[in-house]
């Protein structure tokens, strides 16, 4: 199975915000994340990277666009 842990990067630190994520859907300036149990969260952020082997997705906040 490929459930993924989702982190947000703030001030150079990685903070776990959601786990067992099974799908994500882009919406305006962020993403809806859905987990294995059907729980959904909206995160205003961009994707920095996804490592499909480590089951890890790292987001950064949308504001302060580089």
Residues of this chain that bind a copy of itself (CB under 8 A): 1-4, 21-26, 31, 46-53, 55
**How far apart are CB 37 and a copy of itself at their closest, in Å?**
13
The phi, psi pair for 35, rounded to 5°, reads -100, 175
Which residue, 17 or 50, has its beta carbon nearer to a copy of itself? 50
Minimum distance of a copy of itself from residue 26's CB (angstroms): 5
Number of H helices, E strands in the chain: 0, 6
Of the pair 15, 23, the CB lying nearest a copy of itself is at 23
Nearest 10 degrees: CA dihedral of 43, 28, 56, 41?
Answer: 30
């Amino acid at each position: 199975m490929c459930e993924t842990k989702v982190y947000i990067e703030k001030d150079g630190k990685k903070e776990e915000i959601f786990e067992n994520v099974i799908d994500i859907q882009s919406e305006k300036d962020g993403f809806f994340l859905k987990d294995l149990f059907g729980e959904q969260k909206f995160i205003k952020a961009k994707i920095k990277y996804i490592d499909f082997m480590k089951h890890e997705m790292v987001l950064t906040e949308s504001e302060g666009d580089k």
